[in-house]
Structures are given as structure tokens and as C-alpha cells.
């Protein structure tokens, strides 16, 4: 296959264009990122529509684009089922958290907890939850980036990871949230345009009749194919599917890099409208993904499965080559290069958002509020945030390079969602709604959520003794996704810690957080 | 939105509850306007949340336990599963837009009244002193 061979010249040109645009943005943004509110929250000057685009850009990772399309290509319906949870999750964000976050927070999710709880333990707990989510998500994205760039452009894994990491750090360190936001907006526009053009090409080949596309896809499965128009091929265990679904629907409302986006808009009204924008864009995107996945099945057929790689990740790029005229033609190479460029922009936007939210947890929560106890200057906070971003980025690059392309990252994104749903989401929701909730409850809840989610993944059959093992986990644990156990444990931890401790006084501070989060009275100004 | 001037301008760290509140938050919480806001919001958000979680979980459970039903055809290659998946998209958009509408027409005016009251300082006079009204703990 050409995609595995030498360096693809068209792809290099497209990559250079993408990088030039994003570096231009970073240069322009660098002047606006000198204050803390500029660095973390883009001066709260992002409009609802812009933030909706940026949320889509922050949320739709390469796993959504190439991953879901590939899963639909290989497994059919189950791939689509995966994406439904990612979309429905935005109702949780909208109904329970978006406006309240904007009204009561400043830069990080810890701000909301420490508003009414004892500051130091609350911030440490929230920072732990944030860093755990970011660690798993970021490493999965970095390894994924290396594998994809290697396959699509011909650059080796290690330089590909380092290249991605350097650009990610450039955006965050020099351009802060302003650059990160605009990189995410550019990426969202590119991604939407790319998938729309591909969908039109695919539908054009079947007379713009989606039913005909499904028929053709179904005819093109081989005798031993995993592809099905019905469920059960990729997710054979119903209880695992439920567990995964729960983690996706509640986990999005605990993802620090998504919640952080609500601090960038001027008020709660804009936060609300940005979720609706994001819902439309993300819904539209996942709908079109089915045309890509079924299109790949209809036109590449069973014989294309091997070339599509693990999980069918290269199904979309291979389909692009086919739609452009086939391998070796100018149109085919160009279309492939465009889709590769879109995938690259996709990765960059997501990792930049992740690093920025982690730098907030380290610099704003741990350094400024705990080490310096709020005595440092605005300028010092930004410097520390940049240093933190640099350190976090370096660690992520190092882990990805040392772990290498063989690192099993398939469970990591699911784990990130499980930790977010089990640790961050219960603590945030209860801090905003439960009068009695206290610091001990928050700390035990976050600890229960983080430890149970990670622990259950470690003993899950995919990880211990390993993905290829036939025997399964030595302690007999069969659940691959921890959500169905760890999410209730997170809530129980919050509740138990609260009722068992003698801590009082948090009811009193609840009045302020309650009124402020619901009305916006006294919220951070634009 | 015309909220009052921030109580902590230019302060690097969020000092939160350790500061003397600028408003009488407890009194504001017990104003009829605020209580009405909470009641109205709950009346939509609570059933809507229960509905979307149940509807989504029902879809997942059907995919898990009623595989052949989900795989059966509605029209040629269009399966029951795909149609139900599309209905989830419709649900998300309908509930999202409903929430947006209610927010603009019902919640926001009530919020504005609470904010106006706080700025005028009238909430303090209308309700009993702090402490006596917190019986619902």
C-alpha cells in the first residue's frame, strides 16, 4: 500500500499549510496571553458560536474521526453506537454543569470546589482528578498521533510524536487559551469541511440514497466478516456496553479540558448557547461519520480490512484515496493528503486543550493557591503556567516515545472518561447541588473514583494479563469498562465521607455558591 | 449581562468563601424569585435528565440484549437499530433547544430580578435574619 511506503509529498505540503496557519494564530495570540485571564480563559472574550466550534474541536479527537469511521467500517452498527454516547453526553453538560461552571469558576474545576469547601484539600483533590484524566487522554492521543502520522505521511513514529509535541507546546506556551481556542476553531472547520466533502463524494456514488449505501455496505461483507448492520460484533458483552455508555454520558461532564472552555465566554448565556452549537456540530459530524464508515465498507469491501490497520483506523484515509481516483493518481494522493492534514489538525487541537487544562491544575491550583497561597502576582502565575505546560508536554512526549507505537492505548480513552465520570463529575455535581456536602466528602469521593476506575481497569481482562491472553484476569474480573462500578463508588465515596465527618460550615458557604451558580451574580466578569 | 462589579477585581487566586460576602446570599436564596427560578428549572431539567438517561440506556440495553430485533430491517438496509440511533440525535437536539427556549423566556428574567434585587439591596429587608431561615438543613 502506498500509504505505508515513502513520504507522501502532497501530505507534507498540506501539513505545512496547517502548521503555518496555526503558528500564525499563535503569533497573533501571543500578545493576548500575557495575563492569567488571557492565558487560561482567553480574556473571556470568546462568543457562544466560537466556543461551540472550539468545544467541537476540543472534543472530536482523531479517535472520533478515524476511529469511529474505522469501527463502523470493520464492525458496522457497533461503531455508530459508540458515537451516540459521545453526543448524548452534551445534554448532561448542558443541563447540569455548563452555566454553573461559568458562574462559579475562574480558570479550573477546582475553583468551583474550593468556593465552598476548605481550599487546600479541595484543590488537591480536584487537581488529582484533572491530572489523572489528562494523563490517560494525552498519552493515548500522542501515541495515536505517532501511529497515524507514520502511516499517513511516512514519517517515523518517534519524530512524529516529537513533532506533534513541539507544536502542541508552541500553541499552549506562547498563545495560551487564545491560540488554543483558534487552533480548535480552525480544526473544527477543517474537520467539518473534510467530512462533508467526503460524504458528498460517497453519497454521489450511490445516487444520494443513503439506503442504497447501507445495502451496498451489507452486500460487501465477506463470509467471515465482523461487519453487521446490527449490534453485537464489536461490543459482544451487553454489560460492558452499558458500563461504557454510562462512562461516556457522565464522563464528558467531568472532562477538564471541556469544562475549561466555559470559562472563556463572557457569561452563562454564552456558555449555554455554546453547548447548543457544539451539539449541532458534533451531532452532524457523527451522522456523517456513518456515511464514511458505510462508504468504506461499500467501496473498499472486505479486502480492504487488512490495509485499514488496527480497528480500521485507516479506513477513512483509504476511502479518500479511492474517492480521489485511486492509488497513484494525483486526485487520490491529494484527497488522502487533505484527510491526513485534517487528522493532524484534529490531534493538535485536542492535545493543546489537554495540556492547557493540566497546566491550570498545576499552576493555578497547586502552585498559586497552595504553595504560594495566592500571594504571587498575575505575571508569576502565567510564567508558572507556561513552565507547567512545558513540563507536562515533555513528560507526555517522553512516555509516548518510550512506550512506543506498540503501547496498548485502546483502553486509555475509555479510562479517561471513566475517571472523569467517577471522580470529577460526582464531586462537581454535589458541590453545586448538595447543601450538606463537605470537604471530606469531596476528597473521599475523588479518591474513590480515581482509585476504583484505575484499579478496575488494571485487573480487567484487556490489561492484566494482557490483550492477547486467553485465560482472562487471574482474579476473575471480566468487566472491561469500569464505569458501572466506579461511578456509583465515586458518589458513595462523596456521600460517606460527608456523613461520617464532623465537618460543618459548608452549609453556610453553600448559599453563596448556590445563588451565584444559578444566577451569575458576582460571577467573574468578561 | 449587567451583573454588578466583581467583588474581587484583579485578584490572582479565588479566595472564595473566606471573604466577607458583598451580598446577603442567604437572604437572596430565600427570595420568592430565586425559589421560583429553582422550581421552574427543576420542573424541566429533572424530568428531562431522567428521560434522556433512560432513553439512552434503553437504546444501549436493546443493543445488548435484543440484537436480532435491532438488526431487523425497517426498509432494506435500514435497520431498527440505525433508526433508533437517529432518534437519539433528534432527542438531543429537541431537548437542547427546549432548554435554550425555557432559559431565555423563563429562567433569565427571574435571574435578572434576583440580580436587580441584590443590587438594590432589598433582599435584606424582605427576609428574616440569617440563621432562622435555614431550617431545611
**Chains A, B: CB pairs < 8 Å:** 218
Return the number of other C-beta atoms located less than 10 Å from residue A331's C-beta.
13
Give the tens place of pLDDT for each residue, B81-131.
Answer: 999 999 999 999 999 999 999 999 999 999 999 998 888 875 554 444 444
Surface of A (113-142) touching B: CB under 8 A: 114-116, 119
Phi/psi region, residue B20 (left: phi>0; alpha: psi -120 to 50; beta: rest), is: beta
Domains, chain A: 2-405 (1.20.1730.10)
**Least-confidence region, from A9-13, B6-10, B63-67:** B6-10
B-chain CB neighbours of A522 within 8 Å are 3-4, 6-7, 22-23
Give the whole-angstrom CA distance, residue A426 versus residue A422.
7
DSSP of A459-487: TSTTTTT-TT-SS--TT----S--HHHHH
CB contact under 8 A, B82 and A214: yes
Local structure of A433: helix, strand or coil? helix
> What pLDDT shows up at residue A468?
53
* Contact residues, B window 59-118, toward A, CB-based 8 Å cutoff: 59-61, 63-65, 67-68, 70-73, 75-79, 81-82, 85-86, 88-89, 91-93, 95-97, 99-100, 103, 108, 111, 114-115, 118
Q: What is the pLDDT of residue A407?
A: 75
pLDDT at A467: 54
| Greatest CA separation for chain A | 73
pLDDT above 50 for B5: no
Of A463 and B10, the one with more pLDDT? A463
Q: What are the beta bridge partners of residue A163?
A: none
- Smallest Cα–Cα separation from A114: which of A100, A104, A128? A104
Is residue B13 scored above 60 in pLDDT?
A: no
Residues A202, A205, A207, CA angle at the centre, nearest 5°? 110
Residue B19 pLDDT greater than 80, yes or no: no
Please list the residues that pair with B78 across neighbouring strands: B75
More confident residue, B11 or A438: A438
Enumerate the domain spans of chain B. Answer: 23-125
pLDDT at A450: 96
C-alpha cell at A138: 494525552
Chain A, nearest residue to B31 by Cα: A515
CA dihedral A337, A307, A405, A26 (to 10 degrees): 20
Angle, CA of A140, A144 and A149, to the nearest 5°: 155
Instruction: Choose among A367, A392, A370: nearest CA to A380.
Output: A367
Q: What is the 3-state secondary structure (H, E, C) of A17-78?
A: HHHHHHHHHHHHHHCCCCCHHHHHHHHHCCCHHHHHHHHHHHHCCHHHHHHHHHHHHHHEHH
Instruction: Report the run of H or E that residue B10 belongs to, with start and end.
Output: none
Contacts of B59 in chain A (CB under 8 A): 84
Nearest residue to A117 via CA among A522, A498, A524, A450: A498
pTM for this predicted structure: 0.90
Give me the pLDDT at residue A492, please.
97
CB atoms within 10 A of CB A210: 18
- In this predicted complex, what is the ipTM? 0.90
Q: What is the pLDDT of residue A267?
A: 93
Grid coordinates standing for B115?
Answer: 440580580
A193, A195, A200, A206: CA torsion to nearest 10: 180
Top residue of B2, B3, B46 to mutate, by most chain A CBs within 10 Å, is: B3
How far does CA A263 lie from the centroid of its chain? 17
Q: Burial level of A225, CB count in 10 A (0-12/13-18/19+)?
A: middle
For chain A, which ranges sit under pLDDT 50? 1-5
Nearest to A522 among B6, B15, B96 (CB): B6
Write out the three cell numbers for A180. 488554543
Question: pLDDT at residue B15 above 50?
Answer: no
Exposed e or buried b for every residue in B89-123, given b needs 16+ CB within 10 A?
bebbbebbeebbebbeebbbebbbbbbebbeeeeb
Which residues in chain A (210-229) have CB-CB distances under 8 A to chain B?
210-218, 228-229
Q: What's residue A451's pLDDT?
A: 95
Amino acid at each position: 500500500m502506498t500509504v505505508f511506503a515513502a513520504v507522501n509529498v502532497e501530505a507534507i505540503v498540506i501539513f505545512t499549510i496547517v502548521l503555518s496557519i496555526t503558528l500564525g494564530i499563535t503569533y497573533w495570540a501571543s500578545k493576548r496571553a500575557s495575563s492569567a485571564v488571557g492565558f487560561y480563559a482567553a480574556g473571556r472574550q470568546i462568543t457562544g458560536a466560537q466556543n461551540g466550534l472550539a468545544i467541537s474541536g476540543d472534543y472530536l479527537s482523531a479517535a472520533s474521526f478515524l476511529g469511529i469511521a474505522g469501527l463502523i467500517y470493520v464492525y458496522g452498527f457497533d461503531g455508530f453506537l459508540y458515537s451516540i454516547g459521545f453526543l448524548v453526553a452534551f445534554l448532561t453538560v448542558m443541563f447540569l454543569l455548563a452555566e454553573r461552571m461559568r458562574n462559579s469558576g475562574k480558570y479550573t474545576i477546582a475553583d468551583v470546589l474550593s468556593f465552598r469547601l476548605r481550599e487546600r484539600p479541595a484543590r488537591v483533590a480536584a487537581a488529582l482528578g484533572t491530572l489523572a484524566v489528562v494523563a490517560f487522554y494525552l498519552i493515548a492521543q500522542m501515541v495515536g498521533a505517532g501511529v497515524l502520522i507514520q502511516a499517513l505521511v511516512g514519517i517515523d513514529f518517534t519524530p512524529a510524536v516529537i513533532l506533534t509535541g513541539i507544536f502542541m507546546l508552541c500553541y499552549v506556551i506562547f498563545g495560551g487559551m487564545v491560540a488554543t481556542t483558534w487552533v480548535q476553531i480552525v480544526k473544527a472547520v477543517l474537520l467539518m469541511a473534510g467530512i462533508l466533502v467526503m460524504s458528498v463524494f460517497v453519497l454521489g456514488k450511490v445516487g444520494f440514497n443513503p439506503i442504497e449505501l447501507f445495502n451496498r455496505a451489507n452486500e460487501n461483507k465477506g463470509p467471515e466478516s465482523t461487519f453487521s448492520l446490527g449490534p453485537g460484533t464489536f461490543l459482544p458483552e451487553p454489560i460492558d456496553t452499558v458500563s461504557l455508555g454510562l462512562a461516556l454520558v457522565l464522563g464528558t461532564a467531568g472532562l477538564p479540558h471541556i469544562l475549561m472552555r466555559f470559562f472563556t465566554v463572557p457569561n452563562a448565556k454564552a456558555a449555554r448557547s455554546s453547548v447548543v452549537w457544539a451539539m449541532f456540530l458534533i451531532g452532524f459530524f457523527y451522522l456523517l461519520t456513518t456515511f464514511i464508515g458505510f462508504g468504506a465498507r461499500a467501496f473498499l469491501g472486505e479486502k480492504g480490512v487488512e490495509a485499514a490497520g488496527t480497528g480500521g483506523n485507516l479506513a477513512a484515509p483509504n476511502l479518500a484515496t479511492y474517492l480521489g481516483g485511486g492509488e497513484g493518481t494525483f486526485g487520490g494522493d491529494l484527497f488522502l493528503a487533505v484527510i491526513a492534514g485534517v487528522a493532524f489538525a484534529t490531534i493538535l487541537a485536542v492535545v493543546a486543550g489537554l495540556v492547557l487544562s493540566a497546566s491550570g491544575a498545576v499552576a493555578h491550583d497547586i502552585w498559586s493557591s497552595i504553595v504560594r497561597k495566592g500571594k504571587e502576582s498575575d505575571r508569576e502565575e502565567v510564567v508558572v503556567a507556561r513552565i507547567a505546560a512545558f513540563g507536562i508536554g515533555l513528560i507526555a512526549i517522553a512516555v509516548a516515545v518510550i512506550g512506543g507505537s506498540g503501547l496498548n492505548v485502546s483502553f486509555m480513552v475509555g479510562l479517561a472518561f471513566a475517571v472523569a465520570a467517577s471522580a470529577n463529575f460526582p464531586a462537581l455535581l454535589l458541590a453545586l447541588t448538595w447543601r450538606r456536602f463537605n470537604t471530606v466528602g469531596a476528597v473521599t469521593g475523588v479518591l474513590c473514583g480515581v482509585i476504583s476506575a484505575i484499579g478496575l481497569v488494571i485487573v480487567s481482562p484487556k490489561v492484566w494479563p494482557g490483550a492477547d491472553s486467553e485465560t482472562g484476569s487471574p482474579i476473575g474480573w471480566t468487566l472491561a469498562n469500569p464505569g458501572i462500578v466506579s461511578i456509583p463508588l465515586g458518589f458513595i465515596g462523596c456521600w460517606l465521607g460527608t456523613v461520617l465527618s464532623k465537618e460543618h460550615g459548608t452549609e453556610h458557604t453553600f448559599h453563596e455558591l448556590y445563588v451565584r451558580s444559578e444566577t451569575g451574580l458576582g460571577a467573574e466578569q468578561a | 449581562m449587567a451583573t454588578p462589579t466583581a467583588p474581587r477585581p484583579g485578584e490572582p487566586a479565588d479566595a472564595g468563601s473566606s471573604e466577607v460576602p458583598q451580598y446577603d446570599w442567604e437572604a437572596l436564596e430565600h427570595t420568592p424569585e430565586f425559589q421560583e427560578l429553582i422550581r421552574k428549572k427543576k420542573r424541566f431539567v429533572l424530568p428531562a435528565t431522567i428521560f434522556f438517561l433512560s432513553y439512552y440506556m434503553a437504546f444501549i440495553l436493546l443493543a445488548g440484549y435484543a440484537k436480532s430485533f435491532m438488526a431487523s430491517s425497517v426498509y432494506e438496509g435500514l435497520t431498527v437499530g440505525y433508526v433508533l440511533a437517529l432518534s437519539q440525535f433528534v432527542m438531543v437536539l429537541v431537548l437542547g433547544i427546549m432548554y435554550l427556549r425555557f432559559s431565555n423566556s423563563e429562567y433569565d428574567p427571574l435571574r435578572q430580578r434576583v440580580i436587580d434585587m441584590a443590587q438594590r439591596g432589598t433582599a435584606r429587608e424582605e427576609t428574616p435574619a440569617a440563621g432562622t431561615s435555614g431550617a431545611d438543613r
